[in-house]
Every structure is written in C-alpha cells, then in structure tokens.
Amino acid sequence: MKNVSVVVALILCLSMSSMAFAKAEVSVFWAEYDGLTPEFAQSLEAAFEKAYPDIELNIVSSPWNQLHDKLIAALGAGQAPDLSVIGTRWLIEFMEMGVVEPIEKYVSAEVLGNIPESIMEGKLNNQLYGLPVAIGPRIMFYRSDLMDKAPETFEEVLAMAKKINNPPDMYGVGLAGKVHAELTDFVYYFYGNGGEFFEMTPEGKFGKCTVNSEAGVKALEFMNALANTEKVTQPSFLGDERAEVQNIFVSGKLGMFMSGGFTGALLDKRGVDFKWAPAVIPYFEGKSRVPLFITDTIVMFNTSENKAEAGKFLDFFYQDKWRLEFDKLTGFPPVTKSLADDPHFQNPVSQVMVQSMEGSKPWPLVAEWPECTEVIWNAVSLVLLGEKDAKTALDDAAAEIDALRGM
C-alpha cells in the first residue's frame, strides 16, 4: 500500500511539473507583404520567445490573395488564430460576425500613446479592435530617364504613354487586369474622377452602390482605352496581378505604373540600372487629386485563450526596433510617433507618400466589401475582354451589389 502511495505521489508531482512548464501558445496569421522576408518573421519569433520563454509564438504567413478566405475558413472550423493582420476594410465584416475582441486592455498605454489617433481606423463605436500595422497612400512610379516630369493628369498619362510606348522593349503604362484581392487598378482612376462607391443616406450610412456613375463609367472606359484601343499597356495585362506588373517595371520594360511604397523598397534592393522617381497619383482634368489610402490592421479574435500573451506580442512588435525593420522592408511610412523623424523616412518615396496623404481616401467600410470587390472586378474583366461595354457592366455590378447588401 505504501508503494502505491509513493507511485501516486510521483505521478501527481510529474503532472504538476509538466503543467508548470507548459507554454502558452500565441498564433498570428501574417500577411506576406512585398519585401517582407521569411527571415524577418523567424527573427521576430526567436526574439519574442527569448524575451518571453513561457510563450510559444507561431507566425503563419499567407499571401494577401488568400488571407481573407483563409481566415473565414479558420473561423468556420473553430480554429481562429489569436491575432491576424487584416485589410481594415474587412473589419466591419468580422465585427458583424461577432469574432473580434476589443484590444485596448491587452495593449500597454505606452504603445497606444505612440500611435497617432488619426490612423486608428480599427477604432469603431468607441472600441479599439486593432492596431494599424501598415498604412500609406498609393503613389506612381515612373521612368525619370524617359520622362522630364511625372504626369499630373490621366490625360497626360495617356499622352506620355503613347510617346514612350515601343513594344516589346518598352510599354507605356502598367495595368493589372487579372482578378485579385484588391481593386486598386480600377480605384486609381475611379477616385481620380471623383467617384464614390456608395451614396450616403441621411443617417450617414452607406446606401445604394454608385460605381455605375459617370465617374465610374469614364474610369473603366479609360482603362479599356489604355489596354485595347491605344494599346499602351503590357500585352499580358489580363493575366497580370500587381506583382507581375511591378516585375515588368523592375525589369526596365515599363514607363510608369501605380503601386505602394513597397515598390520603392524593391527597386532599391534590386539596384536597377535605370533612373526612376516616385510621384503623386494623377487625376482627370477638372477633378481633384484623390489618392487611395490603405490601412491594414492587426486584430485579436475573441476565441483566443491567451489574450494577455497575445497582447504581450503586440507590445513587443511595436517596439521601434521591429517596427523600423518592418517599414524598411515593406516601404511603408511609420505608424508610430517615435519613428516619425527617423532618417530612413526622409527618402523621396516616403516624402511623396506624406505629400499624397492630403486629399487621400480609404476603401469604404462595409461588411460585404470583399464580395463587392469581386463583383466589380468581374465587371472590369468583362469590359477588358470586350464582352460588355463599361456602362452595362457597371450597371449590372451596382444592381448585384445592392442585392447582396439587401438594398
């Protein structure tokens, strides 16, 4: 009997010992930004686990085009990560699903105070649901050795593109015509023509879709003219996403295209043998300049069993050391006040991005935005393929969007 008691005691001790040394696990869905290397995530994991040996950090990288659907699948399977980078435009959708957690009580006052209130797009209904992980207006990149100056208007874009277009050695302007997660290539022209995706109701809410307005039709007709009438884009536009267009520019065969600060970081990294420069995005004659402003947010899911530990990761990641390295690799401007005057951000790309913030506009925050994006992309594709005219395609898209939003 005595021996049995000793064995039981040993088992209890071993069990309690293993419980004492069990690590809390924090999983993070991580977006694969252009320029962001796997080594950065590995170094971040290792440094965090060294600082917090009782926490195991698991960073799971995913291409942007797959991230939204990957999150939806994980949520549906009851396997949501503790944290995830999201396009801020998805936040309303996740709020309506009831899956995101207000994070203010899990993040230090020091970190919260180091982020300007003006870029806290994750704050809705007086609740903070996420921290800005990346911000920035989209800008233009152009060959300064082929053009004396950047085009001010889209009419000038066409004129300059026709002048320098010399296929197959040089294409005037890049166009991403393949359906992908972002609607950027349409919205550059749409916002630059005064376009609004939705009318505003008297209550200040998004109403019926207005992508089929005169602004939208002209924007899409202009895109189609660049590609199919004037033929000043790369001929592979229907099969190219932004990354492919960027690669054509980096290869030296493209006169200009619109992208994010990450393109500047890539051009510096590659050490290209031609001269290039950044510029603010053009607009149509008679309209105002309205660059697209994009923010991405890191959020916490309310199913997390280790919210306090996830908060420790956020505090760690928002230290200057890690934020500066992240911004250097991706080409984004800083999201923290403490890095605003860092010498790295005095480069031409960063300065143009700061200049572009004036008058810039984000995506509309509607729960169905991912579905709206897909519908509009399909309309754009049908026009570029010559299967519909711009007015018909956008009329059909607006009606479909109103239906899916219950309008």
Which tens digit of pLDDT belongs to each residue from 294-306? 999 999 999 999 9
The per-residue pLDDT for range 46-96, each reduced to its tens digit, is: 999 999 999 999 999 999 989 999 999 999 999 999 999 999 999 999 999
Q: Are 221 and 227 in contact (CB under 8 A)?
A: no
pLDDT at 124: 87
Specify the DSSP element, H or E, that contains 377: helix 369-384
157 lies in the same domain as 258: yes
Structural domain boundaries enclosing 113: 25-135+294-355
Main-chain phi, psi angles of 40, to 5 degrees:
-65, -50
Question: Does 34 lie in the same domain as 101?
Answer: yes
**Is residue 14 in some structural domain?**
no
Q: Are residues 273 and 131 in the same domain?
A: no
Give the position of tokens 């994006």.
Answer: 373
Same domain, 222 and 307: no
* Domain end residue (candidates: 355, 377, 397): 355
- Residue range 16-40: average pLDDT? 81
Q: Is residue 248 part of a domain?
A: yes
Residue 160 sits in the same domain as residue 269: yes
Whether residue 11 is contained in a domain is answered as no
The share of the chain scoring above pLDDT 90, in percent, equals: 84
CATH of the domain at 260: 3.40.190.10
Residue 329 lies in a domain: yes
- Domains identified in the chain, total number: 2
Residues 200 and 53 placed together within one structural domain of the fold: no
Residue found under tokens 């991230």: 67
State the pLDDT at residue 163: 98
**pLDDT tens digits, one per residue of 266-293:** 999 899 999 999 999 999 999 999 999 9
Q: Which two tokens stand for residue 58?
A: 């698991």
User: Do 375 and 305 share a domain, yes or no?
Assistant: no
Q: Do 69 and 164 belong to one domain? A: no
DSSP alpha helices (H): ranges in 52-197? 64-76, 91-97, 109-113, 154-164, 184-191
Same domain, 194 and 167: yes
> Please, are residues 396 and 249 in contact by the beta-carbon 8 Å criterion?
no
Instruction: Say if residue 146 is in the same domain as residue 115.
Output: no
20 falls within a domain: no
Please indicate, yes or no, if residue 2 is contained in any of the structural domains. no
**Is there a single domain that holds both residue 276 and residue 306?**
no
Q: Are residues 122 and 199 in the same domain?
A: no
201 part of a folded domain: yes
Q: Is residue 381 part of a domain?
A: yes
